[in-house]
Amino acid sequence: MPATNNQAALAAARELFEKTFGEVSSNAKVLAVHAPGRSEISGNHTDHEGGGHVIAGALDVAVDGVAVANGTNVVRIIDANFPLVEVDLSDLSVREDERETTAALVRGMAFELAQTGRTPAGFDFASICSVPAGGGLSSSAAVEAAYGRAMEALWEGPSIDPVELAKMSQFAENRYFGKPCGLMDQAAVCLGGLAYMDFEVPSEPKTAKLDFDFDKAGYALCLVKVGSDHADLTFEYAAIPDEMQTIAGEFGCKRLCEVDPAVFDAAVPQLREKYGDRAVLRAIHYWYENGLVDKRWEDLVAGDIESFLVHTRASGVSSAMFLQNVSATVGDVREQHAMLALGLAERILDGRGAARIHGGGFGGSIQCFVPLDLVDEFIARMDAWLGEGSCRKYSITEEGACATWM
């Protein structure tokens, strides 16, 4: 069984399974599946540009579920928060009518697992998800990894290492679900722990892990759900790599990592005239943020938490000013949930710790490193402003996506 603290979640998933699909027969093999959420520690929108560096950590929230083969060609998925989904595995092609749905992720992961020589077969899967949906903690990546580990175990074939599973999950999200994400989310979920990733070769990222305890360094990792779900803002998210890669294309390149920054600097007037200021600013963010990732990793390796926090604050400024992924460009301009949350967090921190936009942005959640002596007050005040349960303290967990026979 996965070495997760969520035994209660697995028990609840088993109960949901039997309520939905009926009692499990005594001779049936039951699979326990676990896939954590993630926090983007550093590298805001750098992973999709090739050569991008990121730091991410697996969190103590997860998709925990149970799966049992059902002897059909249909996968049946039930989650405590969503209705039953059924996917016929006889057709694994991309379906436009399934964009941004659970069915798309199931079909996409099944297609990828089939490429390993496996024969897809039906199974029933019930899950409990403690990863907040639309909160910037990569619930979709956790779901993809959970499906992937279930299929890996249920369908005979070779074992799949974490990075390979991450690439399969990214493919499913890009091609089937329709979200042009980089590889950071899936890699963090599959690797577990606190990990540095180098995407110089996007298909073969270099990774390193570090055993670092923020609590022991005197700070709590707190994430604040800001009150606006970014799940329906795929177009805002997609505009970032589109604009960055449009700038790269002006120099005959596919990704910004291939562009000489000095050549970019010389071309700024022409780029502004042709593509506007925002695309130029987003390119500036890529190079600035990429450098900050390396500085923050060096800080963590050296155990220099104060330098890490200085660079964290600089990262937040770059995302807000240059990347511009704090507030959405559509809707009521009076509503700026994430920017307000950042402002309120800074009122409490008063120059201590750090706060920045987290993950994809445009709502979702903000990330705060809060001095331990301030944690209780910080959570209470943020909850009072934004709603009970908006803010909580998280821990980095070493366990990545996994599946074990019960």
What one-character-per-residue DSSP string does 252-310 give? T-SSGGGS-HHHHHHHHHHHHHHH-HHHHHHHHHHHHHHHHHHHHHHHHHHT-HHHHHH
Residues 6+ apart with CB under 8 A from 189: 35, 36, 37, 38, 58, 138, 141, 142, 144, 145, 166, 169, 400, 401
- Which of 251, 255, 246, 243 shows the shortest CA–CA distance to 282? 243
- pLDDT at residue 6 tops 90: no
Describe the chain by its helix, strand, coil percentages, rounded to 5. Answer: 45, 20, 35
Neighbour order of strands in the sheet with 354-358: 354-358, 365-371, 219-225, 391-394
- pLDDT at residue 298 tops 70: yes
Q: What pLDDT is attached to residue 3?
A: 44
Q: How far apart are CA 186 and CA 168, in angstroms?
A: 9
pLDDT in tens, 385-397: 999 999 999 999 9
Q: What pLDDT is attached to residue 1?
A: 46
Q: What pLDDT is attached to residue 52?
A: 80
Q: What pLDDT is attached to residue 317?
A: 97
pLDDT band at 369 (very low <50, low <70, confident <90, very high): very high
Q: What pLDDT is attached to residue 232?
A: 65
> How large is the average pLDDT for residues 113-136?
92
> How large is the average pLDDT for residues 127-152?
91
Q: How far apart are CA 233 and CA 371, in angstroms?
A: 33
Bridge pairing between strands 365-371 and 219-225: antiparallel
Q: Which H/E stretch holds residue 395?
A: none
Buried b (16+ CB within 10 A) or exposed e, 81-118: eeeebebebeebeeeeebeebbbbbbbbbbbbbbeeeb
- pLDDT at residue 222 tops 70: yes
Return the higher-pLDDT residue of 200 and 263: 263
Q: How far apart are CA 331 and CA 337, in angstroms?
A: 12
pLDDT in tens, 228-260: 765 567 788 889 999 999 999 999 999 999 999
Cα diameter, the chain: 71
- For the chain, give every domain's residue range: 7-211+397-405, 219-394
Q: What pLDDT is attached to residue 193?
A: 97
State both tokens at 61: 């929230």
> How large is the average pLDDT for residues 154-175?
96
State both tokens at 171: 């493919």
Three-class SS of residue 176?
helix
CA 363 to chain centroid, in Å, comes to 14
Bridge pairing between strands 206-210 and 194-198: antiparallel
CA dihedral (312, 316, 321, 326) in degrees, to 10, reads 160
Q: What pLDDT is attached to residue 229?
A: 63
Kindly state the percentage of the chain with pLDDT values over 90. 83
Q: Domain 7-211+397-405 class? A: alpha beta
Mean residue pLDDT of the chain comes to 93
- pLDDT at residue 2 tops 70: no
Q: What pLDDT is attached to residue 5?
A: 54
State the sign of the Cα–Cα–Cα–Cα dihedral 258, 260, 266, 269.
Answer: positive
Q: Are 85 and 20 in contact (CB under 8 A)?
A: no
Q: Label residue 400 exposed, middle or buried (CB < 10 Å: 0-12, 13-18, 19+).
A: buried
State both tokens at 259: 């562009």
Q: What pLDDT is attached to residue 4?
A: 46
> How large is the average pLDDT for residues 182-197?
93
Residues pairing with 371 in the sheet:
219
pLDDT in tens, 307-344: 999 999 999 999 999 999 998 887 777 889 999 999 99
pLDDT in tens, 39-90: 999 999 888 887 788 999 999 999 999 999 999 999 999 999 899 999 999 9
pLDDT band at 34 (very low <50, low <70, confident <90, very high): very high
Q: Are 202 and 183 in contact (CB under 8 A)?
A: yes
Q: What pLDDT is attached to residue 179?
A: 86
Q: Which CATH number fits domain 219-394: 3.40.640.10, 3.20.20.60, 3.20.20.370, 3.30.70.890?
A: 3.30.70.890
- Radius of gyration (C-alpha) of the chain in whole angstroms: 21
State the sign of the Cα–Cα–Cα–Cα dihedral 235, 241, 242, 243.
Answer: positive
CA 180 to chain centroid, in Å, comes to 13
Q: Are 141 and 174 in contact (CB under 8 A)?
A: no
pTM higher than 0.85 for the full model?
A: yes
> How large is the average pLDDT for residues 178-187?
87
Query: Which runs of E-coded beta strand occur in 174-275?
Result: 194-198, 206-210, 219-225
State both tokens at 264: 């970019």
- pLDDT at residue 199 tops 90: no
| 38-52, 151-165, 288-302: least confident range | 38-52
